[in-house]
Structure 1
């Protein structure tokens, strides 16, 4: 008899894990549906509530598409669909996990979900990772008053464990950064402590790597076995994350030894394949912006580089074409919906919504003229050599004037995403300046748009991010790729069956 699983999504961000699990739950005989999402960021909460509301319909409301087509604000859903909007508000809670009284408030909700679904619940989520990430640990070392053991972010996973104990779900999925494998606190590694706490929670769990064959019970997996390389699973991004799957002990007795839950590696998807069909755009100028001024600034930078003997000939040839071009892109924003020609079938099916007639949130940032030159050089070098240049390979007149440039700490400061392979990891840093996420086309001379970053993260094209553009970037960078989450959701249902 088919089951109906209730999903509890913690540290939900804009809903990457939840989107994937929800879609997996709609495409299986056993169903999964989000019962509760918990997130602290107000703009991510707005995004979650909108998506929860839309998912409550068999087909998204026509008013949604009408507003997107006109480029206007979304309707007052409370007035149009009061019952569905009320349910969406109830589903998504803006709370700080670990805050005073939050666990007690959620406990009754967890108990209700467990009892109403006869134990058929699934817990998902990724505790904040700043304390574990390599970049975060590097920043912390530079803080004179930083004490590792006093950083509460190291222990936020315990909030996840406490809810796991209370809910006692059939399965759980916990996601975190690769740096968790090497992070240490109180004189020991944090990762095996996390594994032990998860394994012993509630009635006990059997922990499984998703991308390795299931071993006989009693054989402990190595920490690195839990590392998922997203580019091996149809994601156009080299995002490497620790993902732990736990199956409740009473359900784990007959798991199929030798099965790889996520299946064999898939062909890699390139940046160009992922963003195909999105209109070519120019960046803006931070001051005095218009199309003619921007084009003149780009040509000036290109001409300067074309005459510089220090720049290798293959790069000079590319920038010379741009200095002579009369067809540089004039627009900073495009709502035109392109075709998916050249995109792998699995992503075309995933992204495409036939009722969506426009492209969402595809507009560019403004940059200072000197950064236009750096972006142009980096993109031209990447096209010529298939890799982004290090800062030391930039000509002197393009070097940024900051005191730390010679230390090597910013060697990848201006990083172009090569067109012919998966991107580097899309992180929340994309919300700051875009220097690490330069578009591969030198003629566009810009960082990625929100929609391009969302494509690399595999958010469907009809996924709308709420809040100002900086907050949209932040949400995209903080998410789990939904198409990866979809595959994980399918694997969980298969194992529970």
Structure 2
């Protein structure tokens, strides 16, 4: 008899892990479906509920595509499909894990899931990473009276472990930032404590690294073996994350894996392959934006770069071509969809939805004129030299007026995503200004759109992010790449089969 597994998704964000697992659960002999998602952010919860609602149908409802393809607002789902919408609200809970009373409330749902599925459950999720990330630790070190041991975020993983104790799932997946490997609290490494707690939960779990074989003697794998490089697994992004898979010990007796669960590294996918089919757009001006004003501002910046002896000749030539160009992209928003011939087949199939005729959430930001010049320089430099320039390589007239620009902490302040390589890590910082995520085309002179960032994160093209644009960016940057999550889910299925 086929076992069906219920997925409990903690710290779910906009649903990257859940998307991968639910998609794997639809096309296999080991079915899985999301039973409960828990997230605290308002807009991420809206995104999760919409996706949960859509997944409640064998095929997404026609009204969804009608709205997206025509550019109209989504209909009132509660009126059209009240039972499906009610189910979505039940599946997705807006709760702050760690707050008083939340565990006790969720414990009731965990008991129901365990009993309904005869113990066949899977726990997934990634506790918030700000306290572990290198950037977060740098920010915290500059805060007056900051006490590392008093930061509750260091211990949110214990809420995950607490639920692991209660649910006793057949398997779990916990994701976090690379910085967790080196983060220290109370004079000791936090990651060794995390592994100890995960291993000892319930009746015990066998911890499995995804990219390495398991030790022959049954010992725990070294901490570094739990680090995953997303770019080695078909994701067009250099995203390095700690991912721990655990199998309940009663199901892992004698388990030894001679090959990595995720298989051998795949050929890298470049930025150009991932987003090269997305229509060109012009950037905008943050004030007084019109086509004419933008063209004038860009030509002024291009002229200054083209005439500067401090700029490499290859960059000056690109700037000169833009300065004299008669045709520049006029649109700032596009819903036009086109076919890519450069994209690898695995991603083309992953992104595609034949019923979707529009391109979602492809709208550019507005920038100040000075940033147009910096973006132009950076993208032209990247095109010429195959790497993004450091801040010290910018000419003086393009240097930002930051007091701490010479500190060395902002060497990559303006970073172009280079055409021929996977992108750098897409983070929630993309919601702030886009300076770290400059498009590679100097003519467009802009940062990435939400859809382009979502492509680099491998969200399917029919995945709609709720809330204002800033919140959409934030959700994309906080997610686990769904295509990587799908591969992890398939690996977990093989372990449970």
TM range (shorter): over 0.9
Equivalent in the alignment of 2:32: 32
Equivalent in the alignment of 2:330: 330
Rounded Cα–Cα distance in structure 1 between residues aligned with 2:355 and 2:257:
43
Shift of 1:259: 2.6
Flag as ranges the 4+ runs of structure 1 deviating above 3 A.
none
Equivalent in the alignment of 1:86: 86
Relative to 1, partners in 2 of residues 1:39 and 1:217: Cα closer, same or farther, differing over 3 Å?
A: farther
Give 3-state SS (helix, strand or coil) of 1:467's partner: coil
Rounded Cα–Cα distance in structure 2 between residues aligned with 1:451 and 1:217:
46
Equivalent in the alignment of 2:227: 227
Rounded Cα–Cα distance in structure 2 between residues aligned with 1:307 and 1:283:
23
Equivalent in the alignment of 1:49: 49
Rounded Cα–Cα distance in structure 2 between residues aligned with 1:359 and 1:318:
29
Give 3-state SS (helix, strand or coil) of 2:137's partner: helix
Rounded Cα–Cα distance in structure 1 between residues aligned with 2:326 and 2:351:
33
Residues 124 and 173 in structure 1, CA contact (< 8 A), matched pair in contact too? yes
TM-score (norm 2): 0.99
Mark the runs of 5 or more structure 1 residues left unpaired by the alignment: none
Residues 255 and 495 in structure 1, CA contact (< 8 A), matched pair in contact too? no
Mark the runs of 5 or more structure 2 residues left unpaired by the alignment: none
Rounded Cα–Cα distance in structure 2 between residues aligned with 1:195 and 1:325:
58
Residues 235 and 483 in structure 1, CA contact (< 8 A), matched pair in contact too? yes
Corresponding residue pairs, total: 497
Shift of 1:375: 0.4
Deviations 1:307-334 (A, max 9, x none): 0001011111111111111121100000
Residues 207 and 247 in structure 2, CA contact (< 8 A), matched pair in contact too? yes
Deviations 1:119-168 (A, max 9, x none): 10000000000000000000001001100000000000000000000000
Residues 218 and 256 in structure 2, CA contact (< 8 A), matched pair in contact too? no
Equivalent in the alignment of 1:72: 72
Any residues of structure 2 matched to 1:388-403 within 5 Å, and which?
A: 388-403=388-403
Residues 262 and 487 in structure 2, CA contact (< 8 A), matched pair in contact too? yes
Equivalent in the alignment of 1:482: 482
Give 3-state SS (helix, strand or coil) of 1:475's partner: helix
Rounded Cα–Cα distance in structure 1 between residues aligned with 2:419 and 2:58:
37
Shift of 1:216: 2.6
Any residues of structure 2 matched to 1:7-406 within 5 Å, and which?
A: 7-406=7-406
Any residues of structure 2 matched to 1:485-496 within 5 Å, and which?
A: 485-496=485-496
Shift of 1:217: 4.9
Rounded Cα–Cα distance in structure 2 between residues aligned with 1:461 and 1:179:
30
Shift of 1:70: 1.8
TM-score (norm 1): 0.99
Rounded Cα–Cα distance in structure 2 between residues aligned with 1:338 and 1:113:
43
Rounded Cα–Cα distance in structure 2 between residues aligned with 1:218 and 1:484:
26
Residues 25 and 33 in structure 1, CA contact (< 8 A), matched pair in contact too? yes
Shift of 1:256: 4.3
Shift of 1:214: 2.4
Relative to 1, partners in 2 of residues 1:259 and 1:424: Cα closer, same or farther, differing over 3 Å?
A: same
Rounded Cα–Cα distance in structure 1 between residues aligned with 2:465 and 2:224:
33
